């Protein structure tokens, strides 16, 4: 693990920056992540793009490997590194919120530990911030490295979210820069079901976009398989829009309309004596209506479940340990 001599002689004019990095079972990727982000900080401070005292905050989201041990070692060797360990795995979004809640810098950059997002964009983000933007989104402009399934599913995901009324930036995950003002406003959102990439645009501050091509993961495996991607999509839709409930209302109206038309047709056929008693039509009607009812109950149940969780007002996470910045505790 490399140490870096971060210059301390810069004046206080440039903004101080903190980079928040959620980590979950990233023992293979962590050394590379520390090295690359350390070099980014060193270069930006040396060129006075950011101020002295800028640092990296690694958030261990209840990893089962030795990721936290590596973070503690990095904190001991490098003054620009801090670590936060959550008591258990709370998910990427909560880990990111935990990191943001422990920042004090003028600007905060969030990035995943796999560093598939282009770190060279951080300098451009700082420049966009100095131009008056409180939020700078890192947006992918090339998905050629993804599999065909990944590209298709991602496009369907963003298209579906847009149609559902979720205001988010397409091809943007959680790689962004936020000003102190924007971070403080984001932290006022207290709901349990946080979908950060959908909430940030709601803040309404001046924003800009930086486009880049994503790299391959240097080590380890993706922490977002298809199951988690689908779960994130459901989380985003049900946390930010009631469109599915309105769709249920529309579906109910259409079903009732079809039922009335069918009833009129059946009565007409009965009067004319053209009816043929049969089992198939009855079973199809029962199965169809039963399926629609179960689907509607499932969607309503998802919303009711979220209301139930929110009313409890439980903490989103617990911090078990901190390292670095002279505030270590257990």
Q: Which residue, chain included where needed, has tokens 């391959």?
A: 216
Give per-residue pLDDT as tens, 149-163.
667 777 777 777 777
Give per-residue pLDDT as tens, 160-177.
777 777 778 878 888 999
CA distance 246 to 226: 27
Q: Return the beta strands (E) in the chain as ranges.
A: 17-23, 55-60, 81-86, 107-110, 135-142, 176-179, 207-213, 319-323
Q: In this structure, what token pair is assigned to residue 23?
A: 């980590």
CA distance 156 to 107: 33
Distance in angstroms between the alpha carbons of the first and the last residue of the chain: 24
Predicted confidence (pLDDT) at residue 7 exceeds the cutoff of 60: no
Give per-residue pLDDT as tens, 93-117.
899 999 999 999 999 999 999 888 8
Domain limits, the chain: 17-241+314-323
In CATH, which superfamily holds the domain spanning 17-241+314-323?
Spore Coat Polysaccharide Biosynthesis Protein SpsA; Chain A (3.90.550.10)
Cα distances from 159 to residues 140, 166, 238, in angstroms, run 15, 10, 16
Give per-residue pLDDT as tens, 180-236.
999 999 999 888 777 888 889 989 899 999 998 877 666 555 555 556 666 666 776
Is residue 27 within 8 Å of residue 70, measured between CB atoms? yes
């Amino acid at each position: 693990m490399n140490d870096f001599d971060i210059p301390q002689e810069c004046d206080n004019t440039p903004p101080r920056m903190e980079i928040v990095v959620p980590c979950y079972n990233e023992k293979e990727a962590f050394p590379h992540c520390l090295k690359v982000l350390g070099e980014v900080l060193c270069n930006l401070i040396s060129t006075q793009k950011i101020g002295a005292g800028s640092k990296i905050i690694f958030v261990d989201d209840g990893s089962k490997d030795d990721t936290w041990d590596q973070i503690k070692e990095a904190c001991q060797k490098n003054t620009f590194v801090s670590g936060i360990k959550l008591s258990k795995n709370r998910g990427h979004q909560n880990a990111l919120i935990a990191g943001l809640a422990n920042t004090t810098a003028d600007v905060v950059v969030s990035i995943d530990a796999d560093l598939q997002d282009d770190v060279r964009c951080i300098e451009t983000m700082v420049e966009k911030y100095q131009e008056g933007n409180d939020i700078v989104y890192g947006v992918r402009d090339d998905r050629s490295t993804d599999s065909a399934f990944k590209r298709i599913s991602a496009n369907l995901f963003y298209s579906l979210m847009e149609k559902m009324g979720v205001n988010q930036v397409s091809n943007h995950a959680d790689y962004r820069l936020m000003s102190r003002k924007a971070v403080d406003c984001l932290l006022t959102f207290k709901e349990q079901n946080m979908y950060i990439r959908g909430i940030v645009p709601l803040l309404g501050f001046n924003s800009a976009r930086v486009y880049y091509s994503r790299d391959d993961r240097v080590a380890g495996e993706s922490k977002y398989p298809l199951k988690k991607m689908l779960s994130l999509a459901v989380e985003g839709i049900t946390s930010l829009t009631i469109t599915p409930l309105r769709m249920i209302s529309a579906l109910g109206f259409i079903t009732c309309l079809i039922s009335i038309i069918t009833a009129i047709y059946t009565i007409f056929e009965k009067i004319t004596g053209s009816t043929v008693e049969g089992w198939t039509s009855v079973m199809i009607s029962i199965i169809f209506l039963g399926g629609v009812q179960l689907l509607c109950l499932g969607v309503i149940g998802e919303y009711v479940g979220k209301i139930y969780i929110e009313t409890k007002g439980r903490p989103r996470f617990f911090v078990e340990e901190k390292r670095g910045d002279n505030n270590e505790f257990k």
